[in-house]
Structures are given as structure tokens and as C-alpha cells.
Amino acid sequence: MSNIEITKKILTARFDVINHDSIDEYISHNGYTALKKAMATTGEKIISEVKTAGLKGRGGAGFPTGLKMESVLQAEGLPKYIICNADEGEPGNFKDRYLMEKDPHQLIEGIIICAYAANINHGYIFIRGEYINAINIMDKALEQARVNGYLGDNILDSGFNFDMEIYTGAGSYICGEEFALLVTIEGKQGRATYKPPFPTTCGLYNKPTQINNVETFCNIPHIINMGGEEFSKIGTDSSKGTKLVCLSGNIVNPGLYEVELGTSIRDIIDKLGKGVPNNRAIKMVQLGGASGPVIPENMLDIKLDSKEMSKIDLTYGSGAIIVMDDRIDILDILKRIIEFFHHESCGKCTPCREGLTQMLILLDRFIDGVATSDDLAILEILMETMNQASICGLGQAAPTATQKVLEYFREEFTSKIRSTDSNVV
Amino acid sequence: MNMVNIKINNKDVKVAKGTSILNAAKEVGITIPNLCYHPDQEVKANCRVCVVEVEGARTLQASCATEVKEGMVIRTNTQKVRQSRKVVIELLLANHDMDCTSCKKNNQCDLQEIAANIGVRESRFENVLVKQEIDTSSSSIERNPNKCIRCGRCIQMCSEVQGLAILDYVGRGGSVDVKPAFGMYLNNAACVACGQCSVVCPVAAITEKEDIEQVWEAINNPNITVVVQTAPAVRVSLGEEFGLEPGKIVTGKLVASLRALGFDKIFDTDFTADLTIIEEGHELLKRLSDGGTLPMLTSCCPGWVNFIEQYYPELLPHLSSCKSPQQMFGALVKGYYAEKIGKKPKDVYSVSIMPCTAKKFEAKREEMSVDGENLDVDIVLTTRELAKMLRQAGVDFTILEEEEYDTPFGLSSGAGVIFGATGGVMEAALRTVYEVVTGKTLENLDFMAVRGLEGIKEAKVDLDGTIVKVAVAHSLSKAKQIMELIKEGKADYSFIEIMCCPGGCIGGGGQPFGGTDELRIKRTNAIYEADKGLPIRKSHENPAVSELYKEFLIEPLGEKSHHLLHTKYVNRKK
Amino acid sequence: MQVKEALDKYGRTPDKLIGAMLAYQKSTLCNYLTEDDIKEFAKETKLPVSRVYSIASFYSLLSTEERGENIVQVCYDVPCYINDSVNIVNELEKILEIKMGQTTKDGLFTIEYSSCLGCCDKAPAMQIGATLYGNLTPDKISSILSTYRRKKDE
């Protein structure tokens, strides 16, 4: 636990080392060896390695990947589907784009191994429509994989058939929500649906479906190659492996970094990002993206560790870290965030559809200095209702940043309450 | 049955596995408020009014969408639940035209009722409604987007049950609306005016086009004789509007209430239903013997006629040329009865009370005028509008003494009554056709195979050696299936009855708001009960019908019939 | 490209519709779907017109309103915002003499806000067609736009 390495290149090891266009270079750099190793064994064995590794989903929710694979394997109903969620739309995130653009075969290999493990014959990579470059690269890589016998019928003479296709999104953040993603592939409006049942038993076309994030799949070949036991030595007790972090905002060296889980946010900002330009002070950092929490400077020592973070109701989510220096106006930033959700809400359920409109109105009252203490009370009640009663993660998480501001920077709101109002909280 | 043990508000309950929390709570006497949920529809879970606390769950759960599980602990009235429900209702009200007191559905609105029940007095949120134009383009239904709560009930009804999908969600986020493609007017969309959307709408976003005022004017004009006809299905649903038990037969009260409103003559559409059977039965026999186009399709349902004209015009030759009972009635009023009572057609005002919104469109078809100047049916009122008139006039429906229809168009057979339910037209026709063809008395009048709520029903009838195969379909998604069969040449039926609305007219688009299958079954049972209770149960035995032929029409399919009782159709493909 | 061609390429099942619509829209000069296009998509896929229209109205990369030949998408979100994306927007509006959401008179450009383009490490960013432009400053805008003008002239 003590020797956490800030930079630990596993998923990004081949970045800029090999040419993404070349399957041969991928193969010569240990590529598709995990697939061969996996196909020499059984699905149960593969899943057991993933479980031993302790890998948790990298899309934000952090569900144990091995359990998900197992539940798809055991689910009844054919055909089964596997879907790679590459609908990366959370502001502040760009890791999936890099993973696809710089090492596409790593992702393909990871998906094929999972498909083999749960005996799935058809898959989709759902890539957001804005990622035109990534779509082209993946498209080409899939074709190379087919030509080389890693996709298609009778893969590596094993008798196993699997192929996948790219599904292009058409501009909708909500489609990253897995139920909306499923209905989109089925050709409907990408609207959230209620759960359960979960996709593992009732997913695409009501068939068992494994959905995972790009980064999650990219971990799979490494788990197979190094063994679950070895993989589990990386990271902390509750968070295994590395994490790709997307560092952006007011930062000297923004970019994509792969760190061992357990690294502190301050280390990432200072040692990898080289701090804030002009040595300005940090006012606030947002974790995970627009739907994630914000924290003040004095909490930056917190480590990327799900257990430690959950103690104070935080998550590292998908790994985005957005640094904001002391020049920002917090309410102005919150307004941007809520505008994002307002634009991206599918509009299906009342709390999210109507709630976001009302949040913007209330925020404006504070920004304009005409808010009352009643406005603050109703804002808080509204956000709680959105958390509690929205149909999907979008509406439930949309108020998170605002709620955290009220927790850590409450004076940003109270100082804006009209001074004639005597009931200042 | 597999049962599970759960706890609702500290009370131990045993309910069937697979039950939703919403329905489980109902079983123990707890009504959880809800707006988008509809018992006959797929769960949508979007209004979020029905949320409850489930122990162990991170968030509140929509009770409509959550099935009970063994050991589940549910609380329906905690502060958290009450607060969320209130906020959700306030959010809906903040994007809603709040002119409740002047709203068409004042006191009949689910949103209003829930707001009152859970103690919302006003919304704490700013009203953000962007007023949109009310679509009054259709002669049958009105769409008021300023009332819409985006629950999606109408969308499901129109696409799943009727197979038309005129309405869908448009846009996303805060700007989501429910409307036809390109935001077009309903009369430009391929809408058939069935009004099923209005039946399931929990608010006043879709309602019938209201025509009450014209009727009041006519009633209050001393120079005009106002004649009214009542459709078969109205007598088994009107009572619901006044708190009577669903399925109660209120024929006598219906007649009395119309008289109380000031109508001069109260007649029964059942009479022309009998007449329809005579004409349509003979048309069928003629087609069978002359090698006419088969299968012959019934034509008494205007929603269905709109559908075939718009979606399958190539199959129009299959459609019976008989007018609907409403229009036969109108034609007789203006082309026969007016003269009989010494009035000009324009001085006789013909009103019909229908369970239907499409009838409003039908009455306005230009060919529906026997003199080419006056409409045969001047105004069509739905069951709901009649109830509204009665409330306006302060008529206490529940205590009215039963009264009888006027002559000569007040006498009808049980066959005329069952027109109101799916399969009824077919059954009525078979009762007559059998006796006309075989010359024998039909022993068992009940053709059970064509009754009930199953979507498509088939039957074979032995007409003295000739086997006639018939089919019955209700709802347009089922009609579509039959049309495809005909197109493929696979429909080996002689005669097919089609009704547009689920359950037939008893489930019509003009019936009391909030129709469900449960209600439809009760109304259907009442219809057959009414049939059983009548002394005459076959159309051709209706003495008033025989009298009409003797005195005026001469013979079925004759010249007068051709002029008054039959019609032509138009290709309206869009 | 015709609607039929797009569907021939992608397939006529509902799951292929969005891909076909995007490809077809890209091939049109004005980057949008007309009423007739939507009706044809519906007819060819045997889906209700309302459903196809609903989909077209839902996704931000599909448009039912006429747009320019080149869609300039400027990221609206926080990482770009705190790196002064507002200045980029102002510069675009100034050079093209239109407001966000509008199309230039010559039909060459439409400027739009986009949700995060996944280019936060090079904020502020914008995308034109398949090309991402990062680390933008107002002084870079003019020359970027002129490459599209030149392409048109050629």
C-alpha cells in the first residue's frame, strides 16, 4: 500500500510507442497474447481472474467487472450482446478518445476476451458521433482484426465466432446512460428507462447484455497477461489497478495521465500537472466531470480510493479532474454545469426535465443578487427531489456540484441573498 | 399463486409475486398518487409522482415500476416521500397553464386532484410555461399543449393500441413536447379522430371539440324542433359521470335527462342500428350471390372508415356502402321525419349523443346531407359533453325517474343494443342473416365466439349447409393486421366487423375520461344484459323497422335506401 | 447521396436509422433533414413519421433546420469555459457577423455550441467537420476559417 506509483503505464504503455494504424506493431508489442491465453482456457476461469484482479468499472459507477461478466454468463436467453460504452460525453473527460485513437487493438482485444468468456457472438462499440477521428480509427482497426482472424468466424481456430460493429451516436450525453444507450441502438429516442431488470439479464432487445466502459475493457488483456493475483497488487485494498485521469482547467500541464489508484489528487495536480499557471491559488476542483462533486483546496490530499472517498460522500467517477483557480466565480461555473444538463436531459421524467429549468432560474436569482432565503430553501429541496426521484443517473447527479458547493462554499450562496432579507441562513 | 410477504407502512401484507408496489398498496387500501401510470399500458415511470421509500434502496422508487420482493419494507408517507411528491407536482404546475377554474377539465383533472389531495396550494416555482397555439384544426378533438404534462399515455395509446403513432415526443430536455411530426395540425396528420388519446389523457391536453353551446341555442329556439338520438354505448357509461357504478344500465334515466334538458323528441340510434342490419345483411347476401367484393367490411364506425380511407384506400371496395346508424338516423330525420311532422329540414335540429369523437367528423362529411343544404346530423355530442350539459342545467341524474323513448324511432331490438360492443354488429347481422337465408328460427341467439375483448375473433356459421367464415377486430392495430391479410389474399372471410376503439363503442373516444379494460368489461357485460332483457332481439323482428319499410323505404337496398341509407367513400391517403 | 442510398448502405432496420440519417445529412449541402427526407426515411424503414421526426429532433447532431456547409462546434463546457472559450465565441461572431446558432449568408458556416468535445486538455476547443482545433486563441480563428473558404474556392 505504501509504494503507490504516481505514474504507472499499463493501459497507456503503447501510447505513442506504436503506430495506432498498425496491427503488426500492436502484435509485436505483446498484442493479442492475452486473447490467445484466454482462449486456451474457459470463460469461468477468465471471469475468476477478473474477479481476483478486483477490477471495477471505469465509467463512473464502479461496479465489479467480474460480477457483471459472471451474471451475463449465467443469464438465460440467446443471443447475448456485449457493448462497449464509448459515448464519452462527460465534460472534462477524454480518456476513452485517447484509448481508441492511440491503441485501438487493446480495446478490441479486451472486448473479444469478455465476449469469449460469456459466449457472446455479437458486439457493438457505441462511439459518440462527435468523435469522428476515433470512429475512423476503430473502424479500420476492426477490419484489421477481421483480416487477422481475431474477429469473425472460428477465431484463432477455436470454433468461437464473434464480431462487432460500431454504433455512432448522434449527439446526446444521456446515451452514455446505459439504458438510454440500449434504446438508442434499438433505434428509438435515447430516453432513460426504469430499472431493474439490469442489462446483464435484460439488455439489448431484452437479451443478456454486458456493457462496459472503454477503459474497463482495456484492463482485461492486462489482467489475463499478468494474472488476477498480480493485477490486484496494484492500487489499494478497495481500488485495484491504475486509473486514467483527465487533467484540465487552470493547470500548467493538462493532459491524460495514468496513475496507480491510491494516488492523491494533490500529487496529480502538482507533480503531473505542474500546478496552476502563475502560481495562483486553487479555489475548487471538480472530480469526475459535470456530474461529479467539487471540493475545496484543503481537501486535495484525498486519494483516489473508493473506500476513503466514499467516507466523505465522494467518488472519483470516470477520472476527470478539473482545476479551477481563484479567479472563477463559482455560481457562474454552476450555471454552466446546469446549462449542460439542461441541454442534455432527455426530458422524460419530471424532476430532471422541469427541475433543471427551475435550478437555472434559482441560480440566476443568486447571480443577480435578488435571491431570498426562501429561494435557497426551495433550491435545496428541489435538488434533493432530483437526487431522489429522477429516473436515471443524469437527473440524480445533475445537482451534485451545486450541492457540494452548498456544503463546502455555502457563503457563495448566502452572500448573494438580498440584504433586505432578514432570515439569512 | 406465488405469494410474497412485504411490509407496507408497518403493516404485514401478502401479495402475489410480480405485483407492483403501486398495486400492492392499493390492495391494502392505500392509494399512491400517479399520473403517467395506466393499468392497460406499459409502465412508463416518468411522472415520478408515485415514488415511495423502499428500505435499502439508495433513492426513492417509482411504485408503478417496482415489483414487490420477499421481505420488502415499503413506506408510502414519509416526509421524504411527501416532499418529493409535492415538489414533482409543483414542478408540473410551474410549466402548466394554471387557468384551472376555466379549464375544460376543471374537476375532472388528475393533476388537479392530486395537487389538492397532497396539499399543494400553489407552486413555489416560477411559472415557465411558453404558451403555444391550441390546435383546434380537427373537428373532433382539440390539443392544448399548454396543459400537457408529457406523461406519454396518449403516445402509447396512439402507437401501441391504434398503431397510428400520430403523436410522439419532440425535442428533449426542458423543451420536450408531445405533438404530431413537424408540429403539424391534427387535421393535416393522418389522425382518424378516434379520440382514444383524450380518454387516457390525465389532464386537459387532449379533449373533445366541445359543441355544447350550439345545442343550447337550438333547444332555446322555439321555432326549431330539436331531435336527439342516443347511441347504444352511452346507456352503459353515462352513469359513471354521476358516480353510479360502472356498467349500470341507465337507458330510462338517459331519456328522462334529455327530456329534462328540453329536447323535443328523444329517439334511439338502436333503431337505425336495426335498420343497418337489414340493409347491410342484404348487401352481404347480394355480394355473396353476385360475386361482389369479399370479404365485406362493416362501415358503422367512423374512426375505422377514416382509417381505411387514409391508410388502405385500395381496399375501399370491401367496405359496405351502408351509412352508419347515426347517419342513417340523420338522413331519416331530415329526409323523412321532418316532412312527416310538417317541418322543413332546416327547422328540425338533429343532435346525436355518441360515445365517440370521430362521429363529429362523420357528421360533417359533405355527402352526409340528403338535401344538399342541411347536415343530416347537425351536432354530435359525446357522452362526456352530455354529462356536462346535465351539470350545467343542474339535472340530478341519479334521482331521475326512468322514461321511455318517443315514437316512431324509439323502438329497437337487442341486436341494435349490442352494436355498442365489439362483435355486436357481427352478432346482430348473423341473427338476421341466418333467419333470412335459412328461413328457420335461430335457437341460440348468443354468438359467444365473437364477444369479448380479444383483439381478433373468428367464427364459422352454418347457413343451412353453407359455411360462412367471419371475423371481428377492434382497435386499429388489429384492423391493420386484418387489412394486411386481405391485401395478401389470405383473409378467407365473407364478412368482417371492425371497430376502431378497444372494446368497440363502449370504449369509445367520447366516453368518460379514464377508460380502462376493467371498465370496458363492465360496460360490455351491461350491453349484453340489456340485450337479454329486451322482448325483441333480432333486427328484422323490430316492428317499427318493418313499418318504415312498408310505409316509406319499400325494400332493402331499394331506391330510397340507396339515396338515404347508403354512401360513398373517398381516398384520403396522406 | 439519396435517402435510399444511405439506407442501402446502412440497412433498413431501426438500429441502422440514426447512422443512415447522419450519413445522409452529411452529404446534403445544408447539413439538415427536410420534411421530405424524414418522410422518406419513415417510408423506407416502415417506421411512423412521428418516430423518425422525434429522433431527428432529439439528437443534437441531427438538424431539421437548414444549416451551413461547415458546422463550427464550439465547446460550451467548464474546462473550455475557464480557458476563455467566450473569447473564441466572440471572435467567431465578429468575423462571421452572425450570432451563435446562425448561418452565414453565403451558407458556408454555421456556428453552434457543442457539449464537451473531449478535448479538455487542449481547451478551448472547437470542431469543424472531422477536425478538432485545440489550444485556441482568438487570433487563430481567422486563419482556420479561411482554410474552409479556400477549400470552397478550389
- Percentage of chain C beyond pLDDT 90 is 90
> Given a contact as 3+ CB pairs under 8 Å, which chains touch A?
B, C
The answer on A287 and A190 residing in a single domain is: no
Radius of gyration of chain B (CA): 25
A343 interaction partners in chain B (CB closer than 8 Å): 173
- Percentage of chain A beyond pLDDT 90 is 86
CB B345 within 8 A of CB B371: yes
* 8-state DSSP, A20: T
B182 interaction partners in chain C (CB closer than 8 Å): 35, 38, 53, 64
- The CATH number that applies at residue A263 is 3.10.20.600
What does the alpha-carbon distance between residue A52 and residue A231 come to, in Å, rounded to a whole number?
8
The model's pTM is 0.94
> Residue A85: how many CA atoms within 13 Å on its side-chain side?
27
What does the alpha-carbon distance between residue B426 and residue B56 come to, in Å, rounded to a whole number?
55
CB B379 within 8 A of CB B211: yes
User: Would you list the domain boundaries of chain B?
Assistant: 3-92, 130-207, 213-564
Domain for residue A257, yes or no? yes
Where does B265-375 show beta strands of DSSP type E? Answer: 265-268, 296-297, 348-354
Domain for residue A237, yes or no? no
Q: How far is B227 from chain C (nearest CA, A)?
A: 41
What's the whole-number mean pLDDT along residues B229-236?
A: 98
Answer yes or no: do A249 and C78 touch at CB < 8 A: yes
The answer on A192 and A46 residing in a single domain is: yes
> Given a contact as 3+ CB pairs under 8 Å, which chains touch B?
A, C
Is B362 annotated as catalytic? yes
Q: In what order do the strands lie in the sheet with B265-268?
A: B265-268, B225-230, B348-354, B379-382
Answer yes or no: do B165 and C51 touch at CB < 8 A: yes
Where does A239-311 show beta strands of DSSP type E? Answer: 242-249, 255-260, 282-287, 294-296
Residue B122: what pLDDT?
Answer: 86
Domain for residue A352, yes or no? yes
What does the alpha-carbon distance between residue A99 and residue A405 come to, in Å, rounded to a whole number?
32
> Residue B503: how many CA atoms within 13 Å on its side-chain side?
24
DSSP characters over A328-378 = --HHHHHHHHHHHHHHH--S-SHHHHHHHHHHHHHHHHHHTT-B-HHHHHH
C35 interaction partners in chain B (CB closer than 8 Å): 182
Q: How far is B192 from chain C (nearest CA, A)?
A: 15
Residue A317: what pLDDT?
Answer: 86
The answer on A321 and A335 residing in a single domain is: no
Residues 6+ apart with CB under 8 A from C7: C16, C20, C41, C44, C45
Is B401 annotated as catalytic? no
CB B158 within 8 A of CB B192: no
Q: In what order do the strands lie in the sheet with B456-463?
A: B296-297, B495-499, B466-474, B456-463
Higher pLDDT among residues A197 and B510, named by residue: B510
Domain for residue A308, yes or no? yes
Average pLDDT over all residues of chain A? 94
Residue B555: what pLDDT?
Answer: 95
Residues forming beta bridges with residue B74, ordered by sequence position: B8, B54
The answer on A208 and A307 residing in a single domain is: no
The answer on A308 and A191 residing in a single domain is: no
Domain for residue A16, yes or no? no
In 3D space, the residue among C9, C70, C86 whose CA is nearest the CA of residue C44 turns out to be C9
Distances (CA, A) of A341 to A275, B45, B172: 29, 20, 11
What does the alpha-carbon distance between residue A123 and residue A372 come to, in Å, rounded to a whole number?
53
Residue tagged 483516489 (cell numbers) = A304
Is the pLDDT score of C86 beyond 80? yes
Q: Where in the sequence is the domain holding A286, given as residue range(s)? A: 242-325
Is B369 annotated as catalytic? no
The answer on A225 and A124 residing in a single domain is: yes
CB C24 within 8 A of CB C33: yes
Identical fold at B3-92 and B130-207? no
B180 interaction partners in chain C (CB closer than 8 Å): 50
What does the alpha-carbon distance between residue B17 and residue C39 come to, in Å, rounded to a whole number?
45
Answer yes or no: do B170 and C49 touch at CB < 8 A: no
B119 phi and psi angles, rounded to 5 deg: 85, 30
Domain for residue A67, yes or no? yes
Residues 6+ apart with CB under 8 A from B86: B118, B119, B120
For chain A, what is the largest distance between any 2 Cα atoms, rounded to a whole number of angstroms? Answer: 79
What's the whole-number mean pLDDT along residues B152-177?
A: 96
User: What are the tens digits of pLDDT across the range A101-121?
Assistant: 999 999 999 999 999 999 999
The three grid cell numbers given for residue B41, joined into one nine-digit string: 399500458
Domain for residue A6, yes or no? no
In 3D space, the residue among B420, B166, B406, B126 whose CA is nearest the CA of residue B270 turns out to be B420
**What is B130-207's CATH number, 3.30.70.20, 3.90.1150.10, 3.40.50.300, 3.40.50.1100?**
3.30.70.20
Answer yes or no: do C115 and A247 touch at CB < 8 A: no
Domain for residue A140, yes or no? yes
Average pLDDT over all residues of chain B? 96
Q: Is some CB atom of chain C closer than 8 A to the CB atom of A176?
A: no
Topology given in CATH for the domain delimited by B213-564: Fe-only Hydrogenase (Larger Subunit); Chain L, domain 3 (3.40.950)
What does the alpha-carbon distance between residue C64 and residue C52 come to, in Å, rounded to a whole number?
11
Residue C65: what pLDDT?
Answer: 94
The answer on A213 and A65 residing in a single domain is: yes
User: What are the tens digits of pLDDT across the range A262-320?
Assistant: 999 999 999 999 999 999 999 999 999 999 999 999 999 999 999 999 999 898 888 99
The answer on A263 and A125 residing in a single domain is: no
In 3D space, the residue among B211, B214, B231, B210 whose CA is nearest the CA of residue B108 turns out to be B210
CB A194 within 8 A of CB A414: no
The answer on A89 and A183 residing in a single domain is: yes
Is B403 annotated as catalytic? no
Confidence of residue A1 (pLDDT cuts 50, 70, 90): very low
In 3D space, the residue among B506, B256, B228 whose CA is nearest the CA of residue B398 turns out to be B256
Is the pLDDT score of B333 beyond 80? yes
Is B427 annotated as catalytic? no
**In this complex, which of B47, B83, B124 lies closest to A350 when CB atoms are compared?**
B47
* Domain limit, last residue, from A325, A358, A377: A325
Out of B241, B362, B427, B497, which one is annotated catalytic?
B362
- Percentage of chain B beyond pLDDT 70 is 100
What does the alpha-carbon distance between residue C6 and residue B25 come to, in Å, rounded to a whole number?
51
Confidence of residue A187 (pLDDT cuts 50, 70, 90): confident
Question: CB burial class (10 A; 0-12, 13-18, 19+) of residue C66?
Answer: middle
- Percentage of chain A beyond pLDDT 70 is 97
User: What are the tens digits of pLDDT across the range A368-404?
Assistant: 999 999 999 999 999 999 999 999 989 999 999 999 9
Q: How far is B453 from chain A (nearest CA, A)?
A: 28
Q: How far is B277 from chain C (nearest CA, A)?
A: 36
What's the whole-number mean pLDDT along residues B184-196?
A: 96
Distant-in-sequence contacts of B234-238, Cβ < 8 A, 24+ apart: B234/B353, B234/B354, B234/B355, B234/B383, B234/B386, B235/B530, B236/B420, B236/B506, B236/B523, B236/B526, B236/B527, B236/B530, B237/B355, B237/B383, B237/B506, B237/B511, B237/B512, B237/B519, B237/B523, B238/B383, B238/B386, B238/B387, B238/B397
**What is B3-92's CATH number, 1.10.1270.20, 3.50.50.60, 3.10.20.600, 3.10.20.740?**
3.10.20.740
The reply to whether omega before A208 is within 30° of 0 (cis) is no
DSSP characters over B21-63 = HHHHHHHTT-PPP-SS--TTS-----S-TTEEEETT-SS-EET
The answer on A192 and A317 residing in a single domain is: no
What's the whole-number mean pLDDT along residues A167-194?
A: 83
The three grid cell numbers given for residue B474, joined into one nine-digit string: 377492434
What does the alpha-carbon distance between residue B217 and residue A328 come to, in Å, rounded to a whole number?
68
What does the alpha-carbon distance between residue B397 and residue B401 come to, in Å, rounded to a whole number?
9
User: What are the tens digits of pLDDT across the range B488-503?
Assistant: 999 999 999 999 999 9
Residue A5: what pLDDT?
Answer: 79
**In this complex, which of C49, C54, C64 lies closest to B169 when CB atoms are compared?**
C54
Confidence of residue A420 (pLDDT cuts 50, 70, 90): low
Nearest chain A residue to C117 by CA: give it: A130
What's the whole-number mean pLDDT along residues C116-125?
A: 96
Nearest chain C residue to B177 by CA: give it: C54
* Domain limit, last residue, from A261, A291, A325: A325
> Given a contact as 3+ CB pairs under 8 Å, which chains touch C?
A, B
The answer on A217 and A69 residing in a single domain is: yes
Is the pLDDT score of A424 beyond 60? no
The answer on A406 and A312 residing in a single domain is: no
C54 interaction partners in chain B (CB closer than 8 Å): 168-170, 181
What does the alpha-carbon distance between residue B507 and residue B484 come to, in Å, rounded to a whole number?
24
- 176-195 in chain B: CB under 8 A from chain C: 180-182
In 3D space, the residue among B451, B431, B234, B440 whose CA is nearest the CA of residue B325 turns out to be B234
Answer yes or no: do B174 and A353 touch at CB < 8 A: yes
Residues forming beta bridges with residue B248, ordered by sequence position: none
Is B320 annotated as catalytic? yes
- The CATH number that applies at residue A371 is 1.20.1440.230
Q: Is some CB atom of chain B closer than 8 A to the CB atom of A172?
A: yes
Domains of chain A: total:
3
- The CATH number that applies at residue A187 is 3.40.50.11540
What does the alpha-carbon distance between residue B350 and residue B267 come to, in Å, rounded to a whole number?
11
Residues forming beta bridges with residue B167, ordered by sequence position: B180
